[in-house]
Amino acid sequence: MRLHALQYLRAVAALLVVFSHACIQVPAYEARLIEFGAFGVDIFFVLSGFIMLYIAKPDQKPGDFIASRIRRVVPLYWFFTILMVLIFLVMPSVFNKAQLTVDSTLRSLFFIPHWSAAHPDRTWPIVPPGWSLNFEMYFYSLFALSMFAKPQWRLPIISTIITVVFLVALQIDSTGPIQHFFSDNTVFEFILGMLLAYSFKRGFKLPPVAGWLLIAVGFFLLFIHSQFWGLNSPSFNLPGILVNGVPATMVVAGTLYIVLPVNKLWVLLGDASYALYLSHIFVLGVLRAVLPPILGDGQMAALLFVIISMLVSLIVSVPIHQFIDNWLLRQERLCMFKSVKHREA
């Protein structure tokens, strides 16, 4: 069963990330805007945990699963990583803070956490939104590993490994990127999504009004945290899994139980959310150079910049999804088909 409301949520989560990044593109505009929306990634993590457990087949082989995940994630990500390198070599001013090296490029391509040259306190690849894909690939690897056991053991196995690795990383006295990556409690959001799928598959139900309430409260808590309980607020320096993960889970849970009609446009936008997530920084780089001289200064100019940025990013993502992402996947499937036919011959 395809839960179309989750498709809508994917689109909303990606747009929130675009909004967050658009707000900080132009220093003169940043001070006039209320920046929030980075928590869209937390929603994605919970969604990923939910979907993987929800769609997993009892007899699926670990190799087939990890291959399918690589095929879905890698082609478009590599496309934008290589595009980033090419553009940086020709027009480095297009990007706000990008810095590239051969080492960082290779580590980015193969999902190896490393300190960002542009943001030294972050383990970001050269395409910054790709930092979340490092967590996704970590989760996918554990999910594939859990497939060697019976389906009912997948949730306990993955939860145990994530917890043990997290606790060990906390005990390691190191300032390296690997320790920093594995000691990030954000990874527990995948477990929250899996717990949600576990209860959903076993028939747990809520009335639609409760679903809407969960969505409203979840988004409210995420917004409040982004404004008042952030990293610079020592009074509320709580783990991210609590201040972002739990509200994000509330949003995803609520979306499961609300009643919405099927809308082809929003389903398409949900399908294009991955393309939007990866491509929008390229769009913002161009708009940051083009729009401010046209829009001028002031509150209205700042708002227009964000609105135009979101619309253009959204519009660009659809053909990228349809003509680049789908083309890459079609080519891959075609190669696999030819390989199978060749072996049969």
In this prediction, residue 142 carries a pLDDT of: 98
Tokens encoding 174: 């190191």
In this prediction, residue 207 carries a pLDDT of: 95
Block means of pLDDT (10 residues each) for the chain, 345 residues, are 86 98 95 95 98 93 94 96 90 67 92 88 92 98 96 97 97 91 96 97 94 98 84 60 95 95 94 97 93 96 98 98 90 48 42
In this prediction, residue 332 carries a pLDDT of: 52
In this prediction, residue 71 carries a pLDDT of: 93
Tell me the whole-structure pTM to 2 decimals: 0.93
The total of other beta-carbon atoms located within 10 Å of residue 144's CB is 19
In this prediction, residue 231 carries a pLDDT of: 47
Helix axes 246-257, 188-201, angle to 10 degrees: 30
Q: Which amino acid type is present at position 244?
A: N
Tokens encoding 28: 């003169």
Each residue of 146-204: pLDDT tens digit? 999 999 999 999 999 999 999 999 999 888 999 999 999 999 999 999 999 999 999 99
Q: Which amino acid type is present at position 287?
A: L
CA-only gyration radius of the chain, Å: 20
In this prediction, residue 306 carries a pLDDT of: 98
In this prediction, residue 245 carries a pLDDT of: 96
CA 140 to mean position of chain CA atoms: 14
The total of other beta-carbon atoms located within 10 Å of residue 271's CB is 18
Give me the torsion for CA of 18, 23, 24, 29, rounded to 10°: 150
Tokens encoding 271: 């399908």
